[in-house]
Amino acid sequence: SNRVPFASLPPSLTAERQGPVAILKLNRPQKRNALDDGTVIGIDAFFAALPDDIRAVVIAGEGEHFCAGLDLSELQERNIHEGITHSALWHRAFEKIQFGKVPVIAVLHGAVVGGGLELASSAHIRVADRSTYYGLPEGSRGIYVGGGGSVRIPRLIGVARMMDMMLTGRTYSAEDGQIMGLSTYLTESGEGLAKGIELAQRIATNTPMTNFAITHALPRIAEAAPATGFAMESLISSIAQADPEAKNRLTAFLEGRAGKVKRPD
């Protein structure tokens, strides 16, 4: 693992690489990794300037919690128009996570609340350790999610559960979050980062074309009208297949040189 020239980052973020995998950490543990403007702008810059040889990204948090959400100390001074542009700033940054160059894995622990859950839900895979808990305290703070949460969180857990979390302040454990679909991996406490990096290394061995199809085309196809979805699927699958590396891999399988699909452990 060596340091590389990622975009210049604010002190609230650190980045390192392990081969083709970049690890971006929220690094403001004294504020529970609350997201101030500088951090959100830093996330945007990091994904916008991701080096071309990075094939997957892991986002994690330093300290006891993944992320306490919006930095509430910055909220007090804002008028309506500044509120809109602030929300748009978050949308732009998280759009670069969801629809950027490479798959992104969020590694969760401790509090994953408010904007922290919005950040996590813009990643493609979530790994939670057993210390994780989820909440949307916006309802009780007199505010509302502004970082894409109303778009992305219902797609993971449904409108009814998100509404309940916001109306009542209900929180969910790591185990419940796993059952509901907030995470798709659950690890012992402290083991999430290793799991996230392992998954990222595996994802980095896929062809970039396949990873693009999965992260960019799949969610759009899933939301398209079926006739449009089938047409998009035919197009993207034939584009993926045309990649010479896809042909190499199929030949390798047919010649017995590639791994078989394994039963789960």
Per CB under 6 A, contacts with ligand 1HE among 40-59 are: none
* 125 binding ligand 1HE? (CB under 6 A): no
64 carries an active-site annotation: no
Catalytic residue among 64, 74, 95, 118: 118
* 141 binding ligand 1HE? (CB under 6 A): yes
DSSP characters over the chain:
-B----S---TTEEEEEETTEEEEEE--GGGTT-B-HHHHHHHHHHHHT--TT--EEEEEESTT-SB--B-GGGTTT--HHHHHHHHHHHHHHHHHHHTSSS-EEEEE-SEEETHHHHHHHTSSEEEEETT-EEE-THHHHT----SSHHHHHHHHH-HHHHHHHHHH---EEHHHHHHHTS-SEEE-TT-HHHHHHHHHHHHTTS-HHHHHIIIIIHHHHHHS-HHHHHHHHHHHHHHHHHSHHHHHHHHHHHTT-SPPP----
Please select the residue that binds ligand 1HE; options are 23, 24, 34, 240, rule is CB under 6 A. Answer: 34
Q: Which is nearer to ligand 1HE, 44 or 71 (CB)?
A: 71
Please select the residue that binds ligand 1HE; options are 46, 90, 134, 172, rule is CB under 6 A. Answer: 90
Integer angstrom CA distances of residue 118 from 10, 17, 48, 94, 217? 20, 24, 19, 8, 21
* 115 binding ligand 1HE? (CB under 6 A): yes
* 21 binding ligand 1HE? (CB under 6 A): no
* 120 binding ligand 1HE? (CB under 6 A): no
Per CB under 6 A, contacts with ligand 1HE among 184-243 are: none
Catalytic residue among 138, 198, 233, 245: 138
Which stretch, 44-52, 60-68, 152-160, 180-188, contacts ligand 1HE (CB under 6 A)?
60-68
Please select the residue that binds ligand 1HE; options are 25, 31, 126, 152, rule is CB under 6 A. Answer: 31
* 109 binding ligand 1HE? (CB under 6 A): no
Nearest to 185 by CA among 108, 123, 127: 127
* 28 binding ligand 1HE? (CB under 6 A): no
138 carries an active-site annotation: yes
Please select the residue that binds ligand 1HE; options are 37, 48, 53, 64, rule is CB under 6 A. Answer: 64
Annotated catalytic sites, by residue? 118, 138
User: Which residues are near ligand 1HE by CB under 6 A?
Assistant: 31-32, 34, 64-65, 68-73, 87, 90, 111, 113-115, 137-138, 141, 143, 145-147
